[in-house]
A and B are shown apart, each in its own frame.
Chain A
Amino acid sequence: MKMLHYWLEFEESMGKSWDKYLNKKVHKFHEDARVNFEDISKNLHIFHRLMGGAKAKELRITDKRYVETSRTLLEKISFLGKEFFLSWQDEEALYLPASFAYFATKEHNEMLYYWLVALGAQVGTITNHNLLEENLKAVAYLRSRYSGFDTFYKEATAYLMQKYEQLAFLELLDEHSNADLIATYPNPLWIYPPAITPSAALKSDADEEPLREEGKDKSDELQMKKQSEQIDDKHETDGFLAFLPESLMSIFEQVNVDRCEDDSFDEDALYHAEDLDEITVGQKQANLSARIKMDLELLPDNTVTYPLGKGHYVDEWDYQKNDYLKNYARILPQVTMNVVPVELPQRLKKTVKKIQGELDMLKLDRIKNDRLPYGDELNIDSWIEYMSHQNKSMHHQNFYTTYEKKTRDMATLLLADISLSTEGGITQEMRIIDVIKDSLMVFSEALEKLEDKFAIYTFSSLQNKKVYFNIIKNFKDSYDALIRGRIESIKPQYYTRMGAAIREATKILDKQESANKLLLIISDGKPNDEDRYDGRYGIEDTKKALQEIKKKGITPFCITIDLDAKEYLSYLFGRNGYAIVRDGAKLPKVLTEVYINLTK
């Protein structure tokens, strides 16, 4: 028994070293120069917009795809060279490999990302038929326009052709080349269609088991959205098989997404996913990144939402009737009780400090007072005026100027949308609502420093009967740990009946006596609610509410994280009445900067 055990162990270690040897032999990657998408994704996003890529398009990570190729003998022995990271794009996003290590230097591998992003922004819709044509066209354009890309492309192609003999066809290519040629070996410098057609019919190499890549960074897999293949079920012209027949009976087809019984789902899925050549994802957006919420170590939540009064009604605009629906939406003011006072979180301190430093330099609060009988500086103008006047005795000798530290005559109401959509993630760890909370805190710190008057309210709605209007801080409250506690206790709920909330905010601002009044709205999308308050109805009502507020001399301004927002926002707020924050994580800083810009 013991003997057998040893033997098995021996065999396993032998297998491992053989595997290692082969991998080394066949893998032509430069691990020390590997560049990860994640490290430069931020820059790539900006670059994508710079290159004229569609603004709302995302950049995502793709997984390996199975491609039928001609392989070298060693590759065949090691089962390598079957799966490739290809770049591809659809309406929503450009999909790039998680990391590159083709080239010997980091600069080149990084450049490959930039190249692909530029190419992605340049090419049109790529199908199996125009793959060659589109790529060649875009490549030619980029090479002629950017000498940097030209050099890179030349170097990269030469290097790749030398490393991968199958790529030699690149040299022979022109627009008239046979399209079949390109499918012989995938070129990492091109953008591929969402679904690729193998050039030859699928051969049945049934014995070959899918290979697991050893020594590969697991973290890649963890953060990767397995979007490698989308079934091209809209255009069914090319007779493409979305699965490999030979793996049909294996673990390929079913990973139980409904996982109420499967505790270790994530691990298993990862394990299986690694083993697969392809993962097919349907067009339906299943919520794969759903999370289980468990408040394990937290104190029990004692907060209670306490209604303030029975609520009151505001009008709503019905664009179809072209008239107001009188007292249609019911506003329910609320306040959260039993909140725990909170100190400013450590992660925000740096931002706050930086912004406060900027505020110091601005000296927004210095107000010049002229013509005083005493003061810091002599005002020569008033003296000359006095001297030049015919009848000096009629005038007072007020020749002085002072700079007074004075609060500005500003009242700002910050209205935050906390509908359920804010539960959505900006990144895996950060939800929109978290960013909004952070922004509220940073903003409060800044306005506290400026000594400007401000109030914070949040809103959400459940049809016209329930428009919840939560008080975080009214104009009289002073900003302290308790207010921060209230900010911390904000929870996303329900929908966005924006018009009603704006009307309620208008009422509150209208009672303020400041000369300048500002309504700042933070939102993550269009107005919408369960009932017909969606689409045009919601937008028209919000538009009407904004017209009303402008009539009262209050300036509305909207900051949104909604990338597609441009259309309706400029309709609602006017060209200069909104700002879109592309990088949600920057919202705290941007919000405060927008405020300073608006009021300086």
Chain B
Amino acid sequence: MSKTYYLPQANEVELFHAAAQMKLPVLIKGPTGCGKTRFIEAMGEQLGREVYTVVCHDDLSAADLVGRHLISDEGTYWQDGPLTKAVRNGGICYIDEIIEARKDTTVVLHSLADYRRVLPIDRTGEVIEAHPDFMLVVSYNPGYQNVLKGMKPSTKQRFISLSFSYPKPDIEKEVIIQESGVDADSAQKLVDIASEIRQLSDTDIQEAVSTRLLIYAAKLMVRGFDAYDACMHSIVESLSDEADVLEVLAKLIELHFPKADNA
């Protein structure tokens, strides 16, 4: 029985199960806060596999994935990195925001992401064959435009791709209610607000409001905050720093949730 709440948007659960069975690596793309990480956690529970998460950044080196030597009283010893752990023991290795890592770092994944399923560790001279339950999952947000970053096509073409977007209104509403315990009416209004804000394309705001932010707003409301204030702090202020955009978004919130002193 899975404890993590996850409401499927389409056929992603079936696909993931199939990929897990056939030992295929999976790539998940989608905007921030649409449920990528939550999906992996839920899948890990459903499949009964541990999830090893690595969040990528500029300075991520291959050693951060594979492992390194550490010092103890007796001298140095080898410490497996999250990737190696998953390869040895079986489990899902989830590499988040893979685009943030330098391109050459991710090349270590190549031999794991095709039919070979082996991880060579040059520092120790080991070649580890992947556990049957090992599964490689990477994710990234395709919305970022960058010249210096991006996935090598040779990396990209080793995965089964799942494309995520913000859930459909009724699903999103259900998710908000489940996650925060807010009443259906307010949840509906939050979903309405989101669908309107998502109409502002990337020229007015960099990225549209995520389901995660909506849940934050709902949680604040459940905690007893005034709905207008909750939305202002969780949704509006996080989306933009431009004065005119903020003003209009505030207006929109006010239309849905009249300010406390007016009501």
- A residues within 8 Å of B by Cβ? 42-43, 46-47, 49-52, 55, 114, 145-149, 151, 368, 381, 384-385, 387-388, 516, 518, 555, 557, 576-577, 579-582, 594, 597-600
Contact = CB atoms under 8 A, between A and B. Distances in A.
Interface residues of B, number: 39
16 contacts: A43-B248, A43-B251, A46-B200, A49-B200, A49-B201, A49-B204, A147-B258, A148-B258, A384-B68, A388-B76, A388-B123, A576-B142, A579-B202, A580-B201, A581-B203, A598-B146
Contacts of B222: none
B69 A388 contact: yes
Contacts of A145: 192
B258 to A, nearest CB: 5
Given A114-B251, A146-B256, A147-B257, A598 B147 contact: yes
Given A114-B251, A145-B192, A147-B258, A599 B146 contact: yes
Interface string B151-166: 0000000000000000
A500 to B, nearest CB: 24
Contacts of A599: 146-148
A450 to B, nearest CB: 13
A46 B146 contact: no
B146 A597 contact: yes
Interface in B167-215: 192, 196-197, 199-204
A42 B256 contact: no
3 closest residue pairs by CB, A with B: A148-B255, A388-B76, A388-B69
Contact of A557 (B68, B145, B200, B247): B145
Most-contacted residue by chain B among A146, A381, A580, A594 (CB, 10 A): A146
B71 A387 contact: yes
Main SS at interface, chain A: helix
Nearest to B63: A381
Contacts of B256: 146-148
B7 interface: no
Contacts of B63: 381
Q: Which of B142, B143, B148 counts the most chain A CB atoms within 10 A?
A: B148
Contacts of A581: 203
A348 B123 CA distance: 55
Interface string B244-263: 11011101101111100010
A55 B245 CA distance: 16
Given A49-B199, A114-B251, A582-B204, A384 B146 contact: no
B147 A516 contact: yes
Given A147-B255, A597-B145, A384 B76 contact: yes
Contacts of B252: 47, 50
B189 to A, nearest CB: 8
B75 interface: yes
A51 B196 contact: yes
B59 interface: yes
Contacts of A147: 255-258
Given A557-B145, A576-B145, A599-B146, A47 B68 contact: no
A46 B196 CA distance: 11
A384 B71 contact: yes
B10 interface: no
Nearest to A589: B242
Nearest to B188: A145
Contacts of A55: 201
B1 interface: no
B70 interface: yes
Q: Which of A145, A148, A555, A581 has the most CB of B within 10 A?
A: A148
Contact of A600 (B78, B146, B254, B255): B146
B148 A43 contact: no
A327 to B, nearest CB: 31
B147 A50 contact: no
Given A381-B68, A600-B146, A50 B196 contact: yes
A581 B204 CA distance: 9
A388 B255 CA distance: 65
A131 B244 CA distance: 33
A580 B254 contact: no
Nearest to A575: B142
A114 B202 CA distance: 22
A578 to B, nearest CB: 9
Interface in B68-89: 68-71, 75-76, 78
B145 A46 contact: no
B203 A582 contact: yes
A576 B202 CA distance: 11
B113 to A, nearest CB: 24
Given A384-B71, A597-B145, A598-B146, 20 more contacts: A43-B248, A46-B248, A47-B251, A49-B200, A49-B201, A50-B200, A50-B252, A52-B199, A55-B201, A146-B255, A148-B256, A384-B76, A387-B71, A387-B76, A388-B123, A516-B148, A518-B147, A579-B145, A579-B202, A580-B203
A385 B258 CA distance: 62
A315 B201 CA distance: 37
A240 B206 CA distance: 47
Nearest to A148: B255
Contacts of B257: 147-148
B196 A387 contact: no
B27 to A, nearest CB: 17
Contacts of A580: 201, 203
A516 B147 CA distance: 8
Contact of B244 (A42, A577, A594): A42
Contact of B196 (A52, A381, A385, A582): A52
Interface string B117-137: 000000100000000000000
A255 B63 CA distance: 79
A381 B196 CA distance: 50
Contacts of A114: 251, 255
A146 B116 CA distance: 57
Nearest to B245: A46
B187 to A, nearest CB: 14
Nearest to A149: B255
Contacts of A598: 145-148
A368 B59 contact: yes
Contacts of A576: 142-145
Contacts of B76: 384, 387-388
A458 to B, nearest CB: 22
A403 B237 CA distance: 34
